[in-house]
Amino acid sequence: MNRPLVAILSGAGISTDSGIPDYRGPNGLWRRDPEAEKLVTHEYYMRDPEIRRRSWQMRRKNHALKAEPNSAHLAIAEFEKSGIPVRVITQNVDGLHQLAGMPARKVLELHGTARSVVCTKCHDRGPMEDALARVEAGEQDPPCLECGGILKSATVMFGQTLDPVVLGEALAISKACTVFVAVGSSLQVQPAAGLVGVAADHGARLVVVNAEPTPYDDRADEIVREPIGAALPKLLAALRAG
């Protein structure tokens, strides 16, 4: 018998226990400091060297690269090791699913990764840690070492479109899955949130695990309001038991 495909859409709420802030929640960064949004807006970043300098300082002070996976990330990795087909579609850029042990090929990063930098001119990529070391050494706006172009985090900034290949794979998984678990996401950011509706339209059992109500709660077969670190391991254990 074929085992069901489980799709897990993870948002910022899954990483708050790892010390990474939720940007859109009630106490999220964008609500507390609207000016901070400019630092991750493509148009501002590309045209204003001062915005880039401030962005690099924000990255330098950001401890996300030192964060460790929490019980929810580890539970998903253990779930995958049990042999049940699972794919993670994440809105997060922290790389914690992979650090927890999920194979990189089974993780779709809709919004890119903060662990790499990319040149906006020649598209050369490299580790974020190397670029931050240059900032620490005194370069305020380190250019690409290959062509001198503007370097940015390999994340999808405001004003940029998602990678169509990654989004296409996420759509295919949403259509094919038997169970779709949306965890720690406000489900307010499109097109990621729309994947929930796609999964439901194609007959998937929909489970929403989130502290706050979401626009898709009325389509969910199950809603879990408990803290994610405890709720998700329990939920996955129940799925594994069948």
**Would you name the residues annotated as active-site residues?**
111
CA distance 78 to 88: 13
CA distance 2 to 77: 20
Residues 6+ apart with CB under 8 A from 153: 55, 59, 93, 112, 114, 116, 117, 118, 128
Q: Whole-angstrom distance between the N-terminal and C-terminal Cα of the chain? A: 13
CA distance 94 to 90: 10
Residue 209, phi-psi category: left (phi > 0), alpha (psi -120 to 50), beta (remainder): beta
